[in-house]
Amino acid sequence: MYMKYDLAVTIDKASGFCFGVVYAIEMAEDILAEEDYLYCLGDIVHNDEEVRRLTDKGLRIIDHEQLQHLHNEKVLIRAHGEAPSTYELALKNNLILIDASCPVVLKLQNRIKTSYDEKEQILIFGKHGHAEVIGLQGQTNGDALVFQDLAELDDVDLPARFTLYSQTTKSTDKFYHIKDQLISRGYEVKANDTICRQVSNRYGDLEQFVVNFDKIIFVSGKKSSNGKVLYDVCKKFNDNSYFISSIDELDLTWFAPHDKIGIAGATSTPMWLMEQVKVHLESF
């Protein structure tokens, strides 16, 4: 006989898209309401479900190689921002860029460019190969040293003084720990905390949210840097936290009858997907 689990499910109201992602998606939807298709350079957001929803509306995801061969078209620049070389190519290929770069990322790009122009040695705490980080490194003609962990710097001959920046979605605690460690190693560090407060404020909110539930379902795309950081916060304060990217990954064995379940997500997780997970859990 089928047993009804009768789960009490609550979505974290502070979860979901940050304003930069909302802005980029609204821009894409406005254009697709008028036109049959729109090119987007890279995934508009690191969430496969949301990307699928928008490609169904006519969004065409392309990479930098495909951009080289594109002419006389409109191309959306997503919230992560782009390197100067992309804008140069757009001029050459007569491309109209719909620039949805996040204002926080643009401000950081400008600061890094200024540091570089002033001949400062630049270190960037960020994920290798991440779209935002590629755009940041592009402000320095690729000269900035990118690292995602302190251990990477152990065998590197660093200059005596340098300027330290961070990808906008990194952990503030980790950034300040890295700064302190580098100073304790004898380096003169000019540190710029460029972490987005809409993201970093989520740590405290999430910490308060997850302790109220028996189980936490954290919904995020696997490519999301911010998702990994926020899931770690969930796991730290509620050991019964589970990471999923879609409802297909939910496992009934995680739950007990009458469990209180909290659903949270990354800044790249759409609210409609969390609501879908809620409906599915309530059907158990």
Q: What DSSP element (H or E) covers 96?
A: strand 96-99
CB 169 within 8 A of CB 199: yes
- Amino acid residing at 102: C
Q: Measure the CA angle with vertex 130, ends 125 and 134; round to 5°.
A: 80
Mean pLDDT computed over 223-235: 91
- Amino acid residing at 39: Y
Residue 229, pLDDT > 90, answer no
CB 264 within 8 A of CB 12: yes
Q: Which of 35, 73, 132, 275 is catalytic?
A: 132
Residue 195, pLDDT > 70, answer yes
Over its C-alpha atoms, the chain yields an Rg (Å, rounded) of: 21
d(CA 170, CA 127): 9
- Amino acid residing at 104: V
Residue 202, pLDDT > 80, answer yes
Token reading at 236: 């730290």
Residue 65 appears among annotated catalytic residues = no
CB 189 within 8 A of CB 182: yes
Q: What is the pTM of this model?
A: 0.91
Q: pLDDT digits over 49-96, tens only?
A: 999 999 999 999 999 999 999 999 999 999 999 999 999 999 999 999
* Confidence band of 1 (pLDDT split at 50, 70, 90): very low
Token match 């122009």: residue?
Answer: 117
Strands 188-191 and 161-166 come out as parallel
Mean pLDDT computed over 210-216: 98
**Please, what are the domains in the chain?**
8-16+198-282 (3.40.1010.20), 19-101 (3.40.50.11270), 104-195 (3.40.1010.20)
Residue 183, pLDDT > 80, answer yes
Q: pLDDT digits over 115-170, tens only?
A: 999 999 999 999 999 999 999 999 999 999 999 999 999 999 999 999 999 999 99
Mean pLDDT computed over 187-215: 94
